[in-house]
Structure 1
Amino acid sequence: MKANDKLKTLSYLHYLIKHKSTGSPEQLAEKLGVCKRTAQNYIEYLKELGAPIKYCHFSISYCYTDMWDIRLPEG
């Protein structure tokens, strides 16, 4: 995957999480056009960047537990 495509995917994932509309892990993978494991890797990457992400079974979505905005490393 090209770096620009990865950035677009991370930006879209951030949007979905922010709006609590990722759906289940399987649905998220489908929305991102990747396998479930790759979708989980994207979630873990955002967590490494400091994103306070949890899965909410009530809303059936990943969500931020606190205000957070994406800041991708340069380079």
Structure 2
Amino acid sequence: MKTIKHVERLQQLHNLIQMECTGSPGQIANRLRISERTVYYLIEQLKDYEAQIGYDRSRRTYFYKDDFILEVNFSICIGTHDQVTEILEGSYFKNSTGRVFDRNSF
């Protein structure tokens, strides 16, 4: 479950950066209920995914310098060596209202 929570935090940060209303790293940490160090870790992870992220000191917000999309895909399979059953597959992302969208709903 830690992986799912991490992906959700990454998605929340992505949404804030997209809307250009992140606030300072401390404010992000308070909003997402994580440490400031984790905020920096998540930002570095987005950069590892080739997101071009800048910070505007006057507006106190992170922003994307170029278009960047974050889409999460997942699959859960169970089984034995000779038989595997996929029990859950899909992708989702949350928009700024927090509503979860399934990839097939478009």
TM-score, normalised with respect to structure 1: 0.89
Q: Which residue of 1 aligns with 2:102?
A: none
Q: Secondary structure at the residue paired with 1:67?
A: coil
- Which structure has the greater CA radius of gyration? 2
Q: Is 1:22–1:62's contact at 8 Å kept on the other side of the alignment?
A: yes
Deviations 1:27-58 (A, max 9, x none): 01111111111110000000001110011112
The CA distance in 2 between the partners of 1:52 and 1:65, in whole Å, is 5
Normalized per residue, the structure richer in helix is 1
The CA distance in 2 between the partners of 1:49 and 1:74, in whole Å, is 17
Q: Secondary structure at the residue paired with 1:63?
A: strand
Q: Which amino acid aligns with 2:28?
A: L
Deviation (angstroms), 1:23 = 0.3
Q: Secondary structure at the residue paired with 1:4?
A: helix
Unaligned runs of 5+ in 1: none
Q: Percentage identity across aligned positions?
A: 35
Question: What is the aligned length?
Answer: 75
- Larger relative contact order (Cα-Cα within 8 Å, sequence gap ≥ 6): 1
The CA distance in 1 between the partners of 2:72 and 2:40, in whole Å, is 17
TM-score, normalised with respect to structure 2: 0.64
Normalized per residue, the structure richer in strand is 2
